[in-house]
Chains A and B, each alone.
Chain A
Amino acid sequence: MAADQNIFETTGARGFALWEIVSVMTSCLLVEWVVFSFAGKSKLVGAVPVVLALGFMFYSHRERGETLRSIGFTTDNFLGACRLLLLPTTLLILIAAIVGWFANHSLSVAPWRNRYLLLPLWALFQQYALNGFINRRAQLALGKGAKSILFVAIVFGVLHLPNPLLATLSFLGGLVWAAVYQRKPNLFALALSHAISSVTLALLVSPRLLNSLRVGFKYFG
């Protein structure tokens, strides 16, 4: 107990929360930039940072006494969160439709490859990492409100670099999702909005503009 107090007198609980965010972010960047550039498509090497990050996040939740429900894996707040997300998600669909219209991109089912069928799960995973973990730690470090929301959005944008359009859209989406999570913490509603937004972008905006949603080192490939 005394050792615990010493550690946090030195580093500070807020600083430690930031360190947790940086650590998880580093794992994501390692997969996006280092593993893909050095090890190519080796899933085994790529799994190392992912497993480490997930293991750490799960352990952190346990150590801090967070439950699935408190993180947002719950039906509580689902409708409330959906209500808050309805307008911004509709707005995004309209913007994507307008961009697609002006870029003369015809609606195509070609992007409907197998991976898009897994999009809801992928969106839920991303929302868990972004809001279920990073947003909660950002609130510890920076407090609830504008600062932590902006911080979460910047993190989400950075993770989608160097794809300029996707990073910008991710930043904007991050602002909305982080703000909604702080008011109504429900990851299923966020994942639904995320999946709808991603499918809309993939269908309506030319893959040339979004470079097929590629990020990190793969963006150049």
Chain B
Amino acid sequence: MTRFETAMAKPSARLVNLLIGKSIIETVVVGALAVFTFMSVFPPTFHGWGEVTSTGISGWAVNDAAPDERIEVQLFVDGNFVGQGKADQHRPDVSAAGWAQDAWHGYDFTIPSQLRTSGQIHEARVYVLHGNENGIRKSLQLLGDPISFTFNEDGTLAGTSRTEH
């Protein structure tokens, strides 16, 4: 070792502890940032339910963090965007069940006629459209589970899938 190295190579146990402490704090900061970001982008406060009707997909959506908010929802069928709307229709069963304080949280999508191919099984997914406070980012969050349906020969929809989240 040179004189420079000999003079320098005397780190103490305190320095080692400080280095370990620094690493731990940085790990905690990164972990906290990751959790905070995930909670901001995909808040776990959305609840909803969807079902197949004779003409489309209907259900309800509520944000526990803002119960008075009318949530924006989007429908995708087989991975393709079908429509967007506000969950602001009358659903007295939602408030009766205690999911919301008022009854105006329903949505109803009509499946377009060009998708009506008899016998084929389709998959519908209803997403909550959520934006952050300053509107820079928007995210889609699946509401419940995917809903499978098919078309009857008379053009009406049939499905047994029922989801709750």
Residue numbers of A with Cβ under 8 A of B are: 3-4, 7-8, 11, 13-14, 16-17, 19-20, 23, 26-27, 30, 34-35, 38-39, 45, 48-49, 52-53, 55-56, 59-60, 63-66, 136, 139-140, 143-144
Contact = CB atoms under 8 A, between A and B. Distances in A.
A79 to B, nearest CB: 23
20 contacts: A4-B12, A4-B13, A7-B13, A11-B16, A13-B9, A16-B11, A16-B16, A19-B19, A30-B29, A39-B33, A39-B37, A48-B25, A63-B11, A63-B12, A64-B7, A136-B8, A139-B4, A140-B5, A143-B2, A143-B5
B23 interface: yes
Interface in B1-59: 2, 4-5, 7-16, 18-19, 22-23, 25-26, 29-30, 33-34, 36-37
A59 B26 contact: no
A3 B18 CA distance: 15
Main secondary structure of the interface of A (DSSP, over half): helix
B26 A140 contact: no
A30 B13 contact: no
Contact of B33 (A38, A55, A66): A38
Contact of B11 (A8, A55, A139): A8
Contacts of B33: 34-35, 38-39, 45
Main secondary structure of the interface of B (DSSP, over half): helix
A102 to B, nearest CB: 38
Given A23-B19, A39-B33, A140-B8, A30 B26 contact: yes
B25 A60 contact: no
B13 A56 contact: no
